[in-house]
Amino acid sequence: MKFAIAVFSAAHAPSSRRALLFSQAALAGGHQIVRLFFYQDGVYNAQDTSVTPQDELDLPRQWRAFVTEHQLDGVVCIAAALRRGVLNEEEAGRYQRSAVNLSAPWELSGLGQLHDAVQAADRLICFGGP
Amino acid sequence: MPASLLIISRQAPWSGPSAREALDIVLAGGAFDLPIGLLFLDDGVFQLAPAQNAKAVQQKDLSANLQALSLFGVDDVFACGNSVTERGLAPSALNMATVQLLDPEQISSIIDRYDQVITL
Domains and CATH numbers, chain B: 5-119 (3.40.1260.10)
- Who contacts B9 (Cβ-Cβ below 8 Å, separation ≥6)? B18, B19, B22, B23, B38, B39, B40, B41, B44, B47, B120
Question: Any chain B CB within 8 A of the CB of A38?
Answer: no
Q: Is the peptide bond before B17 cis (omega within 30 degrees of 0)?
A: no
Residue of B3, B18, B28 with shortest CB distance to A111:
B28
pLDDT for B79-102, tens place per residue?
999 999 999 999 999 998 889 999
Please indicate whether, in this complex, the C-beta atoms of B118 and A126 are within 8 angstroms of each other: yes
What per-residue confidence (pLDDT) applies to A122? 97
Alpha-carbon span B72 to A111, nearest angstrom: 15
Alpha-carbon span A120 to A37, nearest angstrom: 13
pLDDT for A85-128, tens place per residue?
999 999 999 999 999 999 999 999 999 999 999 999 999 999 99
Residue of A39, A110, A124 with shortest CB distance to B116:
A124
Could you say which of A77, A81, A87, A114 is catalytic? A77
Answer yes or no: is pLDDT of B1 > 90: no
Q: What is the CATH number of the domain that holds A75?
A: 3.40.1260.10
pTM: 0.95
Tell me whether residue A95 is exposed, middle or buried, using C-beta atoms within 10 angstroms of its C-beta: 0 to 12, 13 to 18, 19 or more.
exposed
Q: Where are the alpha helices (DSSP H) in chain A?
A: 14-28, 59-69, 78-83, 89-94, 112-120
Rg (CA), chain B: 13
Question: Any chain A CB within 8 A of the CB of B16?
Answer: yes
What per-residue confidence (pLDDT) applies to A41? 97
- Cα-based torsion angle of the residue sequence A116, A74, A107, B59 in order, rounded to the nearest 10 degrees: 70
The boundaries of the domain holding residue A22 are 2-127
Please indicate whether, in this complex, the C-beta atoms of A115 and B28 are within 8 angstroms of each other: yes
Q: How near does any CA of chain B get to the CA of A91, in Å?
A: 20
Q: How near does any CA of chain A get to the CA of B100, in Å?
A: 24
Higher pLDDT, A81 or B65: A81
A126 is catalytic: no
Mean pLDDT to the nearest integer, B53-80: 91
Q: How many domains does chain A have?
A: 1
Please indicate whether, in this complex, the C-beta atoms of B116 and A80 are within 8 angstroms of each other: no
CA nearest A81: which of A7, A4, A3? A7
pLDDT for A23-79, tens place per residue?
999 999 999 999 999 999 999 999 999 999 999 999 999 999 999 999 999 999 999
SS3 A125: strand
What per-residue confidence (pLDDT) applies to B81? 97
Chain A, nearest residue to B9 by Cα: A130
Partners of A109 on chain B (C-beta within 8 Å) are none
